[in-house]
Amino acid sequence: MATTAVVDAGEGAPDPTVRNLLEQESLKWVFVGGKGGVGKTTCSSILSILLASARQSVLVISTDPAHNLSDAFQQRFTKFPTLVRGFNNLYAMEIDPKVENDDFSNEGMEGFLSELTNAIPGVDEAMSFAEMLKLVQTMDYSVVVFDTAPTGHTLRLLQFPATLEKGLEKMMALKNKFGGLLNQATRLFGLGDELNEDAMLGRLEGMKDVIEQVNRQFKDPDLTTFVCVCIPEFLSLYETERLVQELAKFEIDAHNIIINQVLFDEEAVESKLLKARIKMQQKYIDQFHMLYDDFNITKLPLLPEEVCGVQALQNFSRHFLTPYKPALKRGTVEELELRVSILKSALQEAESELDRLRKGKQVA
C-alpha cells in the first residue's frame, strides 16, 4: 500500500485520470479493451460521453458480439450510427464482424467473395471490419471510440492488415495457377464479367488500400491510442500485460490503464471477507504501478449498483476526471460514528430475530 501512495503522490508521476485523452485534440481512434467482464463497455461509454463534451462529434462502436452498448445507454442500437438520447453530437452503433458478411448478396461477385473469405481463416472478420471502417471514414466524426471484444478477439482485429494481405496472396496464387480458367467459366455459365478475376482482385485491392491507410493511422500515436481496462486480480493483470506487449508489437500507442471495481481501504469496512479482498487487490494495484509507472492509471470504485443509463454514466464519469476519494476515512470521528451506527442497527436486527425465534419456540 505504501508503494501506491508513493507513486500517486510522487512528483512528475502521470496524472491518474483520463484528462490526457480529452486534451489530445488530434486523437481520432480510441480503442477500449481488456479481459471479459472488467467493465469495458461502461468505460468506453463514459469515455465517449466525456469526449462529446470536448469534441465536435463522437461515434462509439461496439465490435463485441455480446453487445452491451444498448444496455449501458438503455437505448437500442443497430449496425447504423444512432444518436444517443440526451446528446446532439454522440452516436453509437453495434457491429458483429463474424456475421456482417451475411449482408453480402448470395449472387455474383459478392457471393463468391463471401464464400472465398469464409475459406481463409480470419479474412471474413478483416473484410467486414474494413467495410465498416470504409463506412466510418465517409462520415465526419471527430473521434471514434471502439468498445472491443475480450483481448483475444481484439488482438485478431489488430492483425487484419496482415490477414487481408494473406487473402490477396491466395487470390494472386489462384490467378497465376489457373490463368484465364475462371474467366472462361464465368462466360460459359453466363455470369458476365462481375465474377472475373480482375473484378475480384480489384475489390480486394480496394479493401487493402483502406486497410493500409487505417493501419498507418493506427500506428500514429497522435491519432490513435488504446485504453486498457482491468480489475485488480491476477488473471486481469496477466491479460493486461499480454495486451500491452501485443500492442507494442503492433506499434499501437497505449498509455492509459483503468483499474475498475476497486475496494478502497480507507472506507469503513468491517467484513473480514472484504478486508481480505482489499488486501489482495492492493497487492495487484501495487504491481500495476510498478509495471506501468509511465502510464496514466485511473482507479475506479466498486459500486453497490450497476452503472446503466445516461444519467448514471454521467454521474460515474467524475471519477474519470478526479481521483476517487472515499467519503469517510478510517480513524476519523465521522467514520467511528458510522461504525457505531452500523453495529447498533445490526444489534437491533439480531435482537428482533432472536425474539421471533423465541416466540416460535414457545408456540411449538
Whole-Å CA distances, 137 to 114, 143, 164: 23, 11, 19
Q: What is the pLDDT of residue 130?
A: 63
According to the annotation, is 38 in a ligand binding site?
Answer: yes
According to the annotation, is 340 in a ligand binding site?
Answer: no
Query: Residue 233's pLDDT band (boundaries 50, 70, 90)?
Result: very high
For the record, the C-alpha cell of 60 comes out as 462509439
The residue ranking higher by pLDDT, 2 or 311, is: 311
Helix, strand, coil proportions of the chain in percent (round to 5)?
55, 10, 35
The residue ranking higher by pLDDT, 112 or 242, is: 242
Q: What is the pLDDT of residue 250?
A: 83
The residue ranking higher by pLDDT, 92 or 130, is: 92
Point out the least confidently predicted range of 26-30, 104-108, 269-273, 352-356.
Answer: 104-108
Q: What is the pLDDT of residue 335?
A: 67
pLDDT in tens, 95-135: 865 544 444 444 444 444 444 444 444 555 555 566 666 66
pLDDT in tens, 35-57: 888 999 999 999 999 999 999 99
Q: Are 67 and 93 in contact (CB under 8 A)?
A: no
Mean pLDDT for the stretch of residues 345-356? 86
d(CA 264, CA 258): 15
According to the annotation, is 108 in a ligand binding site?
Answer: no
According to the annotation, is 42 in a ligand binding site?
Answer: yes
The string over 179-203, giving b where at least 16 C-beta atoms fall within 10 Å of a residue's C-beta and e elsewhere, is eeebbeebeeeeeeeebbbebbbeb
Mean pLDDT for the stretch of residues 220-248? 92
> Does residue 81 have a pLDDT over 80?
yes
- Is 64 catalytic? The answer is yes
Q: Are 17 and 291 in contact (CB under 8 A)?
A: no
Query: Residue 7's pLDDT band (boundaries 50, 70, 90)?
Result: very low
According to the annotation, is 260 in a ligand binding site?
Answer: yes
The residue ranking higher by pLDDT, 335 or 230, is: 230
Query: Residue 329's pLDDT band (boundaries 50, 70, 90)?
Result: low
Three-state SS letters, 42-75: HHHHHHHHHHHCCCCCEEEEECCCCCCHHHHHCC
pLDDT in tens, 285-300: 999 999 999 999 999 9
Q: What is the pLDDT of residue 151?
A: 65
Q: What is the pLDDT of residue 213?
A: 75
pLDDT in tens, 146-185: 888 776 666 666 666 666 666 666 666 666 665 555 555 5
Q: What is the pLDDT of residue 13?
A: 78
For the record, the C-alpha cell of 160 comes out as 487484419
| Active-site residue identified among 15, 64, 265, 294 | 64
> Does residue 9 have a pLDDT over 60?
no
Mean pLDDT for the stretch of residues 253-265? 92
Work out the mean pLDDT of the chain and round it to a whole number: 78
Mean pLDDT for the stretch of residues 309-336? 84
- Find the length of the chain: 364
**CATH architecture of the domain with range 2-328:** 3-Layer(aba) Sandwich (3.40)
Q: What is the pLDDT of residue 15?
A: 92
Q: What is the pLDDT of residue 5?
A: 38
According to the annotation, is 35 in a ligand binding site?
Answer: yes
Q: What is the pLDDT of residue 216?
A: 81
- Coil, helix or strand for 267? coil
Mean pLDDT for the stretch of residues 191-211? 60
